[in-house]
Structure 1
Amino acid sequence: MANRQDRRTVTKSHMDKGAQALRRGDPREAAVWFGKAVVSEPKNASAHHNLSCALADSGALDLAIVSSCRALELNPKHDNAVKRLGSILKTPGLTLNRLPAPKGLLVAFGVADTDHTTLGPLAAQMIRQNSALTPAFELMEQESADAAAEWLCSKAGLKALGEPLLIALLTKTINRDLVVEKLLTALRRRCLLDRPVSELPPTPLQRVLAALAIQGAINEFVFATSAEEDRTLDCLQRDVETQLSEGGRIGGEALLYALYRPLKDLSAAGKLLEINPKKLPEPLRRVVEFTLRQDQEEATLKADLKRLRPIDAAGSTHVAAMYEENPYPRWLSMDIPVEGSWTRQLRETVGELASGLADTPENVLVAGCGTGRHALYCAFGYAPQNETLAIDLSTASLGYAMRKTKSFNARKLSFLQADILDLDLLGREFDIIESVGVLHHMADPMAGWRKLCARLKPGGVMRIGLYRDLGRQDILAGRAYVRDKKLTADPDGIRRFRQALIRDDAELADQTWRDSLMATPDFYSASEVRDLVFHVQERNYTLPEIGESLKELGLLFGGLEGPRSLKTAFRQKHPDPGAPQDLEAWWAFEQQHPELFRRMYEFWCIKPTD
């Protein structure tokens, strides 16, 4: 007991010295002291977390990730460790030479209010390089994906398929690793073509196939298919529909079908919901709950959705139709911002220009909320007093939004189907309006922007996001390729586009835009690819064009949002306190450092009080 108390005393001393070093701005010295605390008490989760913070601030990001995962392994309820891990994994261009143990990452996947998207690339790398599945990837590199899929169906491979990290990756986020996608596509193909489909596969494989079917639902079945697979699926669909209509036994056919196509496409899909769940094979039951049950819930929510008026503007109807088919983006999880943190961030960016804004914003409008994630950020970020109204053209997107937001208990968030062009009918004004990634998809963006200005209170603040012309040249090239090849904006056309890039067709071999698009996260789901290169309507902007628009609207420029690297570099170049609100200074800076900017400008503008 005395030795334990002594160790705690020593650990506390080390932790105190580490904290003092951090306050002095010396993370390297802090890492030394926190490292000593870890040696003193190896199972102290807080010591590992503090070490992670110091290592991250020192630039040793791979070691910081190892420490964060160890903290989570020791204390699965360590919220700060989850936040720190997610923050590190968002670092642009992150490369890891040392990987953590998987248990801590699995804990992070189990935390509801964290963005699992940030965990996906690390999970995929660990699965490829340091898991029971690594031999399959080595075999795929040495021989072929089909050989690797065959090994996975062997006794040794089936044991490897029990890898928990693979199940988490497939069911918690979109896989954005092409090597993992290649193996999964080959495994799916082998299961469909190389066994009697009426038989359920061995139990370890069933679990993975259920997870793979859920991944298909998440990425909207973006994986490539062959002509042989398509023919087999057509026959399989008829067999499953016969089983459902005649009340026959539901076996392996339905599970294999769910690997490739939405269950809702079956003519008698509703009967899967009527069957006693206990009579469905367990893996198929999981897929039915994740897909058809959620579709049913969204349909119920849409039925109660309030509408401002019918969507009938010529430039709005075809955009609405696109998002009815592909609600965007399909998100599964998110980080909940600290209450009121967005209000503080706004004031820090805009400075004195925000003096006319109420201390606690009461009314927030999210114009073009899509599937609701940004609306949730606003509801929490501008809390505690705000009422947030989120509008969108698409009922499918709003249904998805309402289903997803129910679990977050955002009591002051409401949804409405409405066109920005009809906002005069609201009869309300707002302290803050957010419209990010929306106006550039309107037939007349300025007409929409004027409608937003009319709903903004004097002294109110608006955040706008517009596509950046200089940052989308690769996307413009991709859109041109789609037009030249006459690819259709449907699942087949989207898969054909992706496969042309993945296969490295000869005509694309020297095209730098190909590699750029494949590196973007939007390449890995159907709705994101459609929004990226198949969109029915969009335009790009330069900062001078934005300046002209602000002048015409009578709005003041309040500053750009962007990554920390952008803001830090700008402040070094322009240390004057008022420089962030100087649009011309930003334009000159962009000419010198275009690589620091994102694909979209996000900026604040203010409506003067007089």
Structure 2
Amino acid sequence: MVIDKSLEAMQQGIALQQSGQLAQAILSYQKALKLNAKNPLVLYFLGVALQETGKLEEAVNSYKKAVALNPDYVDAHYSLGNVFKARGELDSAVSSFQRVISIKPDFIKVHNSLGTVLQKQGKLKAAAASYQKTIALKADHFGAYYNLGNVRQEQGDLDAAVTSYKKAIAIKPKFAEAYTNLGAVLQFQNKLEEAIVSHKKAIELKPDFANAYYNLGTAQMDAGKYELAFFELQHAVTIEPNKSTYWNSLALCVEKITIDSYHQDLEQLFLRMLDQPIVLPKRVMGTITNMLFQHPNFISVLEFARTDDLENNLQEAITQLTQIPLFLKILELSPNQNLDGEMMLSGMRSAIINSWDERTDDPNRLLFCISLAHQCFINEYVYIETPQETFAVNKIIGEVERFLEEKRPIPPVLIAILGCYRPLYTFSWAKSLLEFSWPNKFLEVIKSQISEPLEEQAIRPTLPSMTTVENVTSMAVRDQYEDNPYPRWTKAGLGDEPKAVAQALKVYAIDLSNYKSPAQPRILIAGCGTGHQALQAASRYADSHILAVDLSLSSLSYALRKTKELQFNNIEYMQGDILELGSCGRDFDLIECRGVLHHLKEPLVGWQVLVDLLRKGGIMKIGLYSKIARRQVIAAREMISELGYDASRENIRQFRQELITMSRKPGSEVDSLVGSEDFFSLSDCRDLLFHVQEHQFTLPEIELILKDLGLQFLGFEINNNHTMSNFKELNQEKNSLVSLSRWHDFELQNPYTFGNMYEFWVKKI
């Protein structure tokens, strides 16, 4: 009979499927369906085979046909729900799983599966109920206890999370994932030694468990054991090199360690790290430079610089440095942050220009000059220039103009040397250089110093204005930032997993309690500068629309060029004054204003404008200078005023040189200034020491301001794990993290805790 042949084909398919021959099994099921198209069992098995081969759309169709023929077919409904889950169709998955429960309420695994989908949807209470139902049906279901622990952790009920993870481990003692998640909760509770033991147990059970190495590394960072953390985080990125969060934590760790000797394997690791989009080069520049200082080649060149003998040994110095690819790379990505390094680089620059007409065909000289041109452009020509160098610069300019007049090929090294002293786009003949054929590596200099700035100049007149800029202080601040795009950056350090607002802020231990993330958050970046903050927000918050406003057209042009380059389309840039934004006719779910309010003549007036733009229940990130942390800055600003320096480029360079000289004297009190990353570029130094308007605050003052503005303090955004751990150790009472008086006491004992600025989150009550 036909039915018998259909069953025979189905049984053959099952046998083939059990032996792993999925393609042949599918053919057998399809043959069975040709003989009897209305057999739900065949359709179910076909769906399973299609699902196993990754043909999810076809699997869905097969399962749907099966349940259409048999509406109470539990296995088909359950498998259909799993396919929907795999495809990210969460509402459909929930419907399928709930259908299973309506047919067979005691079907154990469906409750656990439903919980995982509800958890992904952010319905944590419902997810917990599903896991608890699973446990009620099967008391030793370790997976449900594990999942329940994950939910409790998300809900902030850390004690309950610990209990659930421990029950999962009791049932399944070799459950590595439960051990490392338990460790993560213990870590958040500041039980660091227990956390470290738990993570190590996970690694013991699963030696290739990248996430356990990552968690162990972050726990050791919290404990201030940065060298140990560095070792573990290396394991994590080696096992899973495509995980951006692992590289980001490795970079944070690298920032905190000192490497006393050169290691070739670390050079390769750092080269890979600097290629990661999430890693900010500025963060790791100091540690990498310190390691390179131990490189034999570096030691030789530094000795030439210290003995003022670079000109006599220039070719040897160039050869030595071009053999260190990591050094050339960091020069191209971020300003040098080391005074000895600055001495060497400025000395190399001087020696090269003083012999500019020698060996113009030397490939090593060109290679080094390319990297140095990038460095000088990035630091905005912050080095002192001697009259002899200025004379040589003018000679090179004349030589280049002769080449152009005579239509002769220009040696690229001449343009590279010139790019070490002047931004190339400022010359009237800059566009003509775009028509030449250049070596590939040199094209990067042409791009950064000519093509991109010219693109910004073209963007500038197209930028819309949101408000007028009429306030006298606002105009002075705007004029300061029109001189150079500020801050200039090469890499955005973007994450690759945008999340709902509440989930994105979990990493900072911000207490959002009953805050509900908006589905499509409207975000204002007030004072966006060159777009770095706006781009980070765009990559951090899922389904967001961002309005980014700034006074400076130079900065906004840079921001828009970078945004187009990175292919973000959810950021709107406009020129405007924060003081005038009240009339913009918009409101926002989230506002970020970092490092802006303290440059207003009346910071509280501007802050009130932002509060009025924030929706009720909305959240805001604020960055303000700390009066305690900026004591040396305040003293330096007073010195600048007494000496009569203005904010011209020459005066900034000259005052920097005075501070460098002072720093080398015994008992110097300017160490935090010359050690600041902001000291090593012209615009950063202007912003640090020469700003036309600056206010500083204390935490007691901020506490009173928040009360007046109707804002609830949610917590500081602190990237230093060890700082947070130290605070927790000293302040174990409930709600200490949101106590500004506790933080004030801590800052008094640790005055550089907020060296950059206070960065904190508040909620509109």
Question: What TM-score do you get using the length of structure 1 for normalisation?
Answer: 0.84
Work out the CA distance in 2 between the residues paired with 1:150 and 1:36.
Answer: 60
Are residues 67 and 172 of structure 1, via their aligned partners in 2, closer, same or farther at CA, if it must alter by over 3 Å? farther
Aligned equivalent of 2:427, options 255, 266, 269: 266
Q: Secondary structure of 2:230's match?
A: helix
Q: Structure 2 vs 1, CA of residues 46 and 316 (structure 1 numbering), >3 Å: closer, same or farther?
A: closer
- Please name the residue that 2:279 is paired with: 114
* Residue 158 of structure 1, aligned match among 300, 313, 319: 319
Shift of 1:556: 3.1
How many residue pairs get matched?
577
Equivalent position of 1:239 in the other structure: 399
* Alignment map for 1:285-324 (pairs within 5 Å): 285-324=443-482
8 Å Cα contact 1:34-1:50 kept in structure 2: no
Query: 1:249 maps to which residue?
Result: 409
Instruction: Tell me how far 1:172 sits from its aligned partner.
Output: 1.8
- In structure 1, how many angstroms separate the alpha carbons of the residues matched to 2:237 and 2:531? 29
Q: How does 1:466-545 map to 2 (within 5 A)?
A: 466-504=624-662, 510-512=667-669, 514-545=670-701
Structure 1 residue 223 and structure 2 residue 383: aligned?
Answer: yes
Matched residue of 2:293: which SS? helix
Q: Secondary structure at the match of 2:309?
A: helix
Q: Hey, what does 1:196 align to over in structure 2?
A: 357
The Cα of 1:159 is off from its aligned counterpart by: 5.3
Displacement of 1:34: 5.4
Which residue identity is paired with 2:414? E
**What CA deviation, in whole Å up to 9, does each residue of 1:233-263 have, x standing for no partner?**
2333333344445544323432221111111
The separation in 1 between residues aligned to 2:749 and 2:318, in whole angstroms, is 53
1:465 to 620, 623, 627: 623
With a CA cutoff of 8 Å and minimum separation of 6, indicate the structure with the bigger relative contact order.
1
After TM superposition, give the deviation of residue 205 of structure 1 in Å: 1.6
Name the counterpart of 1:549. Answer: 705
**TM-superposed deviation, 1:175:** 1.6
Contact kept? 1:356, 1:458, Cα under 8 Å? no
Matches within 5 A, 1:172-191: 172-191=333-352
Post-superposition Cα deviations, 1:455-501, rounded to whole Å, max 9, x if no partner, equal 11111122211111111110012212222222232222221122112
Tell me the CA shift for residue 584 of structure 1: 3.6
Q: Distance in 1 between matches of 2:628 and 2:341?
A: 32
Aligned to 2:196: 27
Q: Distance in 1 between matches of 2:443 and 2:259?
A: 38
Pairwise CA distance, 1:289:
1.4
Decide whether aligned partners of structure 1 residues 399 and 89 sit closer, same or farther in structure 2, where only a CA change above 3 A counts.
same
Partner of 1:594: 751
User: Cα 1:505–1:118, aligned 2, differ >3 Å: closer, same or farther?
Assistant: closer
Q: Which amino acid aligns with 1:173?
A: S
Alignment partner, residue 10 of structure 1: none
**Deviations for 1:388-429, whole angstroms, at most 9, x for unmatched residues?**
111100011111111222343333222111111221232011
Per-residue CA distance 1:116-170 (angstroms, 9 max, x = gap): 22232232123211354333234545xx1434x643513x852552321111111
Q: Mind listing any 5+ residue stretches in structure 2 that lack a counterpart?
A: 1-173, 184-193
Quick one: distance in 1 between partners of 2:493 and 2:532? 10
**For structure 1, which runs of at least 5 residues remain unmatched after alignment?**
1-14
Aligned residue number for residue 343 of structure 1: 502
Matched, 1:123 2:282: no
The answer on whether the counterparts of 2:591 and 2:620 sit within 8 Å (CA) in structure 1 is yes
CA–CA distance in 2 between the matches of 1:346 and 1:165?
34
Q: Matches of 2:568 and 2:717 in 1, distance apart?
A: 25
Secondary structure in structure 1 of the residue aligned to 2:511: helix
CA displacement at 1:173 relative to structure 2: 1.9
Q: What code does the residue aligned with 1:497 have?
A: F
Q: Could you tell me which amino acid in structure 2 is paired with residue 540 of structure 1?
A: Q
Distance 1:187 1:573, change over 3 A: closer
Match of 2:50 in 1: none
Change (3 A) 1:350 1:158: closer
Q: Write the letter of the residue equivalent to 1:85.
A: L
Q: CA deviation at 1:293?
A: 0.8
The answer for the alignment partner of 2:485 in structure 1 is: 327
CA shift in 2, pair 1:256/1:346, >3 Å: closer
The 3-state SS of whatever aligns with 1:539 is coil
* Residue pair 1:559, 1:604 contacting (<8 A) in 2 also: yes
Bigger drift between 111-120 and 444-453 goes to 111-120
SS in 2 for 1:113: coil
Q: For residue 504 of structure 1, what is the amino acid of its counterpart? A: M
Does the CA-based 8 Å contact 2:630-2:755 persist in structure 1?
no
CA distance in 2, matches of 1:152, 1:54: 47
The separation in 1 between residues aligned to 2:764 and 2:707, in whole angstroms, is 11
Q: Secondary structure at the match of 1:261?
A: coil
Secondary structure in 2 matching 1:465: strand
Query: 2:235, 2:348 → 1: CA distance?
Result: 33
SS in 2 for 1:365: strand
Contact 2:179 2:198 in 1 (8 A): no
1:367 equivalent in structure 2: 526
Deviates more, 1:48-57 or 1:306-315: 48-57
Matches of 2:196 and 2:731, distance apart in 1: 27
Three-state SS of the structure 2 residue aligned to 1:223 is: coil
Is the CA contact 2:202–2:212 (under 8 Å) kept in the aligned structure 1?
Answer: no
Q: RMSD over aligned Cα, in angstroms?
A: 3.4
Distance across 2 between alignment mates of 1:553 and 1:478: 32
Alignment identity in percent?
A: 30
Instruction: Return 594-603 or 341-350, whichever deviates more.
Output: 341-350
Shift of residue 67, structure 1, vs aligned partner? 6.0
Name the residue aligned to 1:578.
Answer: 735
- 1:408 and 1:282 mapped to 2: Cα distance? 22
Q: Distance in 1 between matches of 2:242 and 2:180?
A: 27
| C-alpha deviation, 1:281, in angstroms | 5.5
Structure 2 residue matching 1:432: 3-state secondary structure: strand
